[in-house]
Structure 1
């Protein structure tokens, strides 16, 4: 609700506010087998009790658009589910915005769900169920025109869908002022206020899980600190999925933060040690040596859903698997897990550092909860930072 209100503000014509889009509608997070976009088997009571309340609250707060999820519920794809899109969303909740598909989800009615033999029938199913806009436009184009000509979709329904989209554009003043000034981005993005807010968000999001013998905060009397791990100095791994290319100097990693915090007389010994997933290139022995010559070791492990600009992606945004180029990405769209254990050689690295006998602080940068049972028993201080962002 707070995000809807923050995005849309009190004046949608302000030039600073945007329409909010609720996604993904609905029950996208509980597919069978944990497979991205897989089918969901839920009774109607569980659906209304556990999954729909956040959407309902956001609709009541004035959300202007909503995106359907790839999955089906009880065999009915969300992009052609009239009970969700008409009965629930509009008739019961009073939603007056527009509904948009996720990328290629209407195609999926034919290609994946095999519910419609052709894209023309898929267009009819989705449009008649209450879907107003096709993200990507592959089906609500020639196939939709063919569906209208065949009498599968009434022109009144087309007019209704178009009116819903155009109404929001009129409300935003896009017909009077269709363009924005790109120089405003240079002036307002990543300014001092935004940087300060980013840091405050990180500070309030970080969770202290364990702190034996008051290792934290780190003593100002330390002479040397080992900073170790695949997430200690990786800007994209702390930013998360769908992050555009960033200027290196705009991001503060854990290594940067420790260097900035401690005076020049403190020796900072950094070794990556291993990757998140790739097991072919490790330097655990070098990491152990760094820990041995330091007063304390800060080990930064976890996961990543960051687009590393080396991985290739499908049109839907899902990542493809390339054995020759193992990225750190183990979370996010297109990455399913059969285990929540730390991947690659991360646990091996952590055990080797703990074995040195030096005080160890484990920092987790991750997009999903991970199994840290061994760490919970053997590491004196543990912090969960999730994705701490630019000032992490």
Structure 2
């Protein structure tokens, strides 16, 4: 090992120079004959310009051939990511996409021309290959036409025939007086058959007969059913030509005239239909307090019982009167309807003993019981008001235990 701790003014000996030269020669021989990278050593190119270096580990290390090739191979593997052999090159991918540089736009435009399964509007006809076989299948027009209505007014005409395969001019009409028809009339009807489950004509059926023209006599909408191969009788569905509401009452036409449904008459009885037991007190002659209301069920009569008094004895009386739209004053008609709460005070109503519909009056300061029969000539609501006394009088009129009693008899 050559001397390294030289001092100033120290004389260099020939042996020292020889040692330095020997070490230089040994290092040169070591570099010339290197077959692997040597840590901490100088690197010298060989005759072909190649040098031996270790595999890099840090970002600023020199890369060797092996590390570069390994990095390239890893990148290609990640790009292919297990693709099948037929699609693991860019050429193969381009061919699979039809060499279309606008492939995404082409696919988007093609999808836009298709029917959306979530719902869409078609501009052309959808042609089906045949008749449906499952409930979820779409049906062709011919299939639907074959399932509804008689095909003709010629040939063997029978409302019990639901196969819809009779010969003729293909008219969808049958006369009411055809075999097993709904009415004894020459009027035409559209027959409709709605079949459950089988859809073959052999199942349970609901059948409708819809008139071709309501102006023909004997027409109307009829229906019947076939259950377990047995037909029921025809039932007529009522229309405005058969039933109406007149003055709040339901009426039907029996062929000779309009009849009120039920045909009952209201008569006084001990049956309490409505009761207003709460004591109500009101002061004033030119105003009235609504204390009761009811809607008649039938024309006739009802009994109204109640207790009435004026709080103190005097020259003015407490009055209970009844109103409805046929006998009430205009102010009552506009100020009160069936929605008005009981206890509402209405101004401009003259509640006096001279009123034509006064049911009772009392001026002695004691409770007095009344039982009055009230005639009902309309089915409009009837309203009851209490009032009385003079203008500015502080003495109230009082009523309690109002009961409306009646029965409806045939």
Q: TM-score range by the shorter chain?
A: under 0.3
What TM-score, normalized to structure 1? 0.16
**Between Structure 1 and Structure 2, which shows a larger proportion of helix residues?**
1
**Between Structure 1 and Structure 2, which shows a larger proportion of strand residues?**
2
Q: Of the two structures, which has the highest relative contact order with CA contacts closer than 8 Å and spacing of 6 or more? A: 1
> Considering only CA atoms, is the larger Rg found in Structure 1 or Structure 2?
2
What TM-score, normalized to structure 2? 0.16
